[in-house]
Amino acid sequence: MKTMKYLKLALLALVAVFATTSCMDDDWKDPNSETSPYGNNSIQETNVVSIAELKNTYGPKQKDEINDTVRIADGTQIKGIVTGNDIEGNIYSQISIQDDSDKPGIIISVAQGGLSGQLQIGQEVLINVGGLYYGTYRSQPQLGVAYHDSSKDQNYPSRISRADWQNRFKVIGKPDASKIKVQVFSTNPDASKGELNVADLLDADVAYKYAGCLVTLKGVEFAMGDGKTTLAPEDEGKTLGYGVTRYFKGYDKTNKQIGIRTSCYAEFAANLVPQGVVDVTGVLSCYKSSAKYNHTVQLALRRFSDIKASESK
């Protein structure tokens, strides 16, 4: 009897081993570049539109609309390269992607942390956006789910749930940051390289065209680079949504504002505001609280190393 009992236990253990091995083979195919352990690998390209087409079809006039949403048709897909994520905690519950059609980009709002572990900078991704909402939050265009703020009677895109998001995207290939096309704005632009002037961002049409894109501002200097001021102290940010904006010299006045916005929870929030002339790379966004005001241009750094000593001469 004991022999039969031990034999049955051994057989059960053997079955468990095979079952576990089978699961491991399926779940760990990513190191062999067969499938990704994240997202929905069953998604197929069926109705891909460019980000530019999506924005042209569903985008309200962002410079006039402060908070609004419109539903995207079922079955619509977009494909692009990840340009921004939460790698150092500054871009929170969002990713930004852009494609090759004149560098248009878009911000996607997701209720999930640790997105940088799943979608690295330079990762190509296919996304089912049908049923989501395209719209603006304080004039900044983004994708998400519809949300109604009853206290203000306003509609705007909010965060996609974690479960819904995981079912909507498919990772394609391996990350390659060299595929990202960065639009350069310079204080001394070289037109032969396609550079624009930093001052061009004061034009709403230009600013909103590049909203959601990865851009570099060359040859700028922080107005508060005094060797004492930090990027985002919590006591300053607590009345500002726990984010602090540091403007550039010449662009730190009302109706003429360009700077970087840093979360008080970013890993580099306590770093000093850099001194001297620098080149700054970040995901561009535009905000205004009312249609009667001009837009404010803000860059969200992905990591502190996005600020470098300027290469401008």
Provide mean pLDDT across the span 153-164: 94
pLDDT category at 61 given cuts 50, 70, 90 is low
What is the predicted pLDDT for the residue at 292?
A: 80
Provide mean pLDDT across the span 39-56: 95
Q: What is the pTM of this model?
A: 0.86
Residue 26 has pLDDT above 90, yes or no: no
Provide mean pLDDT across the span 32-43: 82
What is the predicted pLDDT for the residue at 229?
A: 97
Q: What are phi and psi of 70, to 5 degrees?
A: -145, 140
Amino acid sitting at position 156:
Y
Residue 283 has pLDDT above 50, yes or no: yes
pLDDT category at 245 given cuts 50, 70, 90 is very high
Residue 295 has pLDDT above 50, yes or no: yes
Residue 182 has pLDDT above 60, yes or no: yes
What is the predicted pLDDT for the residue at 16?
A: 46
What is the predicted pLDDT for the residue at 102?
A: 67
